[in-house]
Amino acid sequence: MCGIVGQIGSKPTELAPALDAIHHRGPDDRGTWRGRAGEQTVDLGFVRLAILDLSPAGHQPMPSADGSVWLTFNGEIYNYRELRDELRAAGHTFKSESDSETILYAYQQYGEAFVQRLRGMFALALWDAKREKLVLARDRLGIKPLLYSQHGGRLAWASEAKGLLKLGVPRTLNRDALHDYLRYLYVPPPKSIFAEIHRLEPGHMLVWERGQLRNERYWSITRAPEERDEATVIAQLRQLLEETVRQHLASDVPLGAFLSGGLDSSTLVALMARHTPGKVKTFCMTFGDGEELYDERQYARAVAQHFGTEHTEIPVKPNLVELLPQMVRHFDEPFGNPTALLVYLLSQETRKHVTVALAGDGGDEVFLGYPRYQGAWLASRYRVAPRMLRHALGDLSSLIHDSTRGNHSLRRAREFLSTGELPLEEMYENWIGYFTEAEIRTLLRQATAQTHSQLAPLFAEATGTEFVDRAAQVDLRSFLPGNLLRYTDAMSMAHSLEVRVPFCDHRLVEFLAALPASQKMPRLEMKALLKKAMAKELPPMVRERKKLGFNPPMGIWLNRELAPLVDEHLSPARLEREGFFDPGLVSEMMAAHRKGTRDFSLHIWSLLVFQTWLGLYQGA
């Protein structure tokens, strides 16, 4: 796991400040290389977190044997041993035991199709001197980040926006991205919060060749779901899970796993225990002082005892006032999912014991583990009810109030009824959104050029006759990479911890995407296939427990530890002075939240995060 920066243009900038800015991604080594392409200068920069082949042979930028191709690479290629054998048979000679060298010769052997051979997580920059071609590529699911900018006659790229800012890219605010942030609590690619910085989308390749730039999508899920024999599916799924987890265990440094005691993390630990010599190291967060509703320690302990792991519990008592700006600096832009705080703290403590940790990200998307998938199935049937009835129930939904203590059932009921007359795609976007479009229009002091939703074009491309199937495909291209994988990467790499996510293996994703919701969620049972595949190994309490989710008690924190900070950053006077948000609407939300009549936790938190970012990055 590492960090990369680079540039190509006639007026290069020194790379050292950019490498300093992303040093946390790779504290073990760094390197630079400079080449030429006519009048253009090509610079590659790299910081290394050594995981495979800890020797100097793994140093980057890495050249091919003939010196014509140079590589910088962030990630892990899990099938590198198989690829190495294939490439050796084709005549290539290897000097290291790293997976990075495999990428070099795969490119020389297969050209741009090399990326189709890679099974893993990656963001890479590859310079082909003979063809004067630069290839930037990001893995299929978007596990690893890659940003770029065309500014001042130069193309620059980096693992994090702070690297580009250190290369002189302007910090100009993208107001359309601010709209998206309020809607989704993150800025979806290809946008970033900075007008001059773009995020390469998952499954895409950006190619610069003799001055011409093209952006191509190289991977997609296009096959319509089709039901198959269940016994065969379970057997194949079990085999694929075993293979995927086994590949994710390749490491020359200590390795462990995040363990909540939920189905996803318990599955990973069960399979790790089968393929790991000695005890698996597991890590779990715990809460207290009125926050026990969010605590999963009893389940994690039971799983750890069942599989005999070396278990570490991490009590959460964060200094939130100090933690907030640290979190924002590692994102470089507003990011409103407060689970990021927990991953930051979990990664900080886990890194004291291991360098690599496996996590269950992606399990809910591929196995249908979110309650909203049940809601989506019900909503598609609810549409046959008389319109007058749906309209009446929609009016009654305003009488349903949720509390600040996490009563998600009430919130879901209100959302279901209030969107009962909308088209299914629009309904779903309201479910996964936070501020509504009407609220955003009232909240923002300056209108944006926003004209369409993030999800509409994704729904247009999704396949399947059932709405649930299409919704899950949309989540794989939006919520998963833009939200979950985004905070996992940023918060773990803040502490030089590599987190691997086996459920995001593209072969596993393709296998499950080819099955319909009726088979993955029969009788509305979430994650039914995973439960059946792991039935003989997981304790009953894991298979039968209700989903809790990895969430902090933000409603409590906002009314307690964070209250002074909220009053300071969201005061009417400050909001009026800065001119982004309407002070009246913000004050109304804060009052309702503090009275407990409506849970505006994520709305208030997202505004607090933006205000913190504004002070750190825009000098407000």
Which residues have a catalytic role annotated? 2
Angle, CA of 332, 333 and 339, to the nearest 5° = 95
Strands 310-315 and 281-286: parallel
User: Tokens 């909503």 label which residue?
Assistant: 379
Q: Which residues have C-beta within 8 Å of that of residue 390, sequence separation ≥ 6?
A: 382, 420, 421
Q: Which residues have C-beta within 8 Å of that of residue 309, sequence separation ≥ 6?
A: 259, 269, 273, 279, 280, 281, 282, 303
- Burial category of 295 from C-beta neighbours within 10 Å (exposed 0-12, middle 13-18, buried 19 and up): middle
Contact yes or no for 6/52 (Cβ under 8 A): no
User: Tokens 């590692």 label which residue?
Assistant: 330
Handedness of CA 70, 253, 501, 30 (dihedral sign): negative
Distance between CA atoms of 312 and 101, rounded to whole angstroms?
36
Q: Which residues have C-beta within 8 Å of that of residue 452, sequence separation ≥ 6?
A: none
DSSP string, 293-329: GG--HHHHHHHHHHHT-EEEEEE----HHHHHHHHHH
Distance between CA atoms of 190 and 530, rounded to whole angstroms?
33
Return the biggest CA–CA distance within the chain: 73
- The helix or strand, by DSSP H or E, that contains position 394, with its residue range, turns out to be helix 387-396
Handedness of CA 232, 504, 206, 180 (dihedral sign): positive
- Tell me the residue ranges of DSSP E strands in 182-316: 198-199, 204-209, 212-217, 255-258, 281-286, 310-315
Residue 495 one-letter amino acid? H
Cis before residue 318, ω within 30 degrees of 0? no
Distance between CA atoms of 250 and 153, rounded to whole angstroms?
41
Q: Which residues have C-beta within 8 Å of that of residue 136, sequence separation ≥ 6?
A: 123, 124, 125, 126, 146, 148, 157, 200, 205, 206, 207, 208
Distance between CA atoms of 257 and 266, rounded to whole angstroms?
10
Strands 356-358 and 255-258: parallel
Distance between CA atoms of 100 and 473, rounded to whole angstroms?
30
Distance between CA atoms of 25 and 4, rounded to whole angstroms?
9
Q: Side-chain half-sphere of 24: how many Cα atoms within 13 Å?
A: 19
Q: Side-chain half-sphere of 231: how many Cα atoms within 13 Å?
A: 0
